[in-house]
Amino acid sequence: MSIVLPDTDATIAAGSRLASLLRAGDLVVLTGGLGAGKTVLTRGIGSALGVRGEVTSPTFVIARVHPSLVGGPELVHVDAYRLGGTAELDDLDLEAELEQAVTVVEWGAGLVEGLTDDRLEVTLTPDPVTEERTMEVRGIGPRWADVDIAAVLTTEDEGGLP
């Protein structure tokens, strides 16, 4: 399914909505060019999960763990842009964290699929003229087979959103 995100706030809100679906063990793979809004979306996920620390795109850190402040899963935020390949991915040892975390990987397509059987694939496509992004979400594997992603993303109920 896909929705249109007119501005940064809409992308944050979409991240919050996605977060309501996420639980420990989930892997989210974010695709989209530089500045597409992957980190902004992750910020929305992190704030709705109630994790500590600001979700940013640090220059030297490839993976950052944000512990939960509310007794929920931690957020492991990975920026794989500078990762050389699967050998360096293995060095991060994401498997160790995966079971108790929501793992979100920017630039993870083609790299992290082997980590689990299931994943949420999110693609952000900017409009060349406006600030609009089109977000496409696809659930892969049995975990997502019966989840109505569209219902969560398009609901009119704003409860709990920033």
Ligand X SMILES: Nc1ncnc2c1ncn2[C@@H]1O[C@H](COP(=O)(O)OP(=O)(O)OP(=O)(O)O)[C@@H](O)[C@H]1O
Which positions lie near ligand X, rule CB under 6 A?
5, 7-8, 10-11, 32, 34-40, 57, 79, 81, 106, 131-133
Query: Closest CB to Mg ion among 38 and 133?
Result: 38
Q: What's the closest the beta carbon of residue 54 comes to ligand X, in angstroms?
A: 12
Q: Considering only residues 92-151, where is the footprint of Mg ion by CB under 5 A?
A: 106
Q: Is the CB of residue 48 less than 8 Å from the CB of residue 20? A: yes
Note whether 11 binds Mg ion by CB under 5 A: no
Half-sphere exposure of 111 (CA within 13 A, CB side): 25
CB atoms within 10 A of CB 4: 12
Closest-approach residue to ligand X (CB): 37
Could you tell which of ligand X, Mg ion, none binds residue 36, using a CB distance below 5 to 8 A set by kind? ligand X
Nearer to ligand X, 22 or 40 (CB): 40
Which CB atom, from 39 or from 68, has the smaller least distance to Mg ion?
A: 39
Give the number of other CB atoms < 10 A from CB of residue 154: 11
Of the residues 16, 27, 38, 68, which one makes contact with Mg ion according to CB under 5 A: 38
Is residue 143 within 8 Å of 115, Cβ to Cβ?
no
The 10 Å Cβ neighbour count of residue 148 is 12
Expressed in percent and rounded to 5, the helix, strand and coil fractions of the chain are 30, 25, 40
Pick the closest to residue 14 from 24, 30, 3, 26 (CA basis).
Answer: 3
**Shortest separation between residue 144's beta carbon and ligand X, angstroms:** 22
Indicate which of ligand X, Mg ion, none lies near residue 17 (CB less than 5 to 8 Å, by partner kind): none
Residues of this chain that bind Mg ion (CB under 5 A) = 38-39, 57, 106
